[in-house]
Amino acid sequence: MKTAVIIGVGPKLGLGAQLCERFAKEGLHVFVAGRTPAQIEAAADSIRSAGGQATAIAADATSEADVKALFAAAGDQVDLAIYNAGNNTPGRIIDMEADYFEQSWRVCCFGGFLFGREALRLMTPQGGGTLLFTGASASLRGRARFGAFNSSKGALRNLAQAMAKEYGPHGVHVGHVVVDGPIGGDKIIQGFPEYADKLGEAGMISIDGIVDGFVYLYRQPPRAWTFEIDVRTALEKW
């Protein structure tokens, strides 16, 4: 059975949990990783009750020991690895504490290095695999009041591109998905209900649509690889 490791899994109606569900339906045993045991256990339970295979592993993406233990638990063969961890970190530069900036970078960039490195250490000798990263509008441009987030997501994108060029010849397909706008999931609908009302359903990106993008990248044959796709609603001003 093929194996996937997905880190950055939160509520059921969130990108991380839905990536886990879809790749389990695609027939992979999914190692569901995140910081909150109740959330990752719920995601793994939901997969198992639908007949799929899943194992929940508590891991903080910014901890080298946790990321190493996660891949050790997943076994010798990992076919798909997805780095989905990421927090939006708004704030004006002149008001920003140094620690806040650093924590943003740790989750949105450094964790991607730790996770990508461990995935590549497994995939390179096995001769292939797929390593995907979740990006945001912030991956492509700086924006006032989002300097911490823009800089860390932009760095993650460049890191992913370096990995793609360094390990493509070893058979590892590295890809990056730019989620360009608010996702129609729990983070926005539950966390910012007034904002969600203002956007309406048509103004929030469909999680299923984003997951389709990841599946598209995963299925690509080595003679026709895409590094990056972007996904936005028809209403997005970009």
Rounded distance between C-alpha atoms, residue 112 and residue 115, angstroms = 5
Question: Which among 49-57, 67-75, 161-169, 178-186 is the span making contact with ligand NAP, rule CB under 6 A?
Answer: 178-186
Pick from 3, 8, 20, 174 the residue near ligand NAP by CB under 6 A: 8
CA 116 – CA 186 distance, rounded (Å): 27
Nearer to ligand NAP, 88 or 126 (CB): 88
Sole binder of ligand NAP in the list 20, 31, 62, 116 (CB under 6 A)? 62
Nearer to ligand NAP, 78 or 109 (CB): 109
Q: Which is nearer to ligand NAP, 103 or 126 (CB)?
A: 103
Question: Taking the complex as a whole, how short is the minimal distance between the CB of residue 16 and ligand NAP, in angstroms?
Answer: 3
**How many chain residues interact with ligand NAP (CB under 6 A)?**
29
State the CB neighbour count (10 A cutoff) for residue 41. Answer: 15
Question: Can residue 39 be called a binding residue for ligand NAP (CB under 6 A)?
Answer: yes
Q: Which x/- pattern, by CB under 6 A, does the window 115-134 give for ligand NAP?
A: -------------------x
Give Cβ neighbours of residue 5 (< 8 Å, ≥ 6 apart). Answer: 30, 31, 33, 70, 71, 74, 78, 80, 81, 82, 119
> Any idea of the CA torsion for 136, 88, 208, 210, to the nearest 10 degrees?
10
Give the binding range for ligand NAP (CB under 6 A) out of 45-53, 159-167, 176-184, 226-234.
Answer: 176-184
Structure tokens at 23: 């790749």
- Using CA atoms of 70, 25, 170, 121 in order, give the dihedral in degrees to the nearest 10: 0
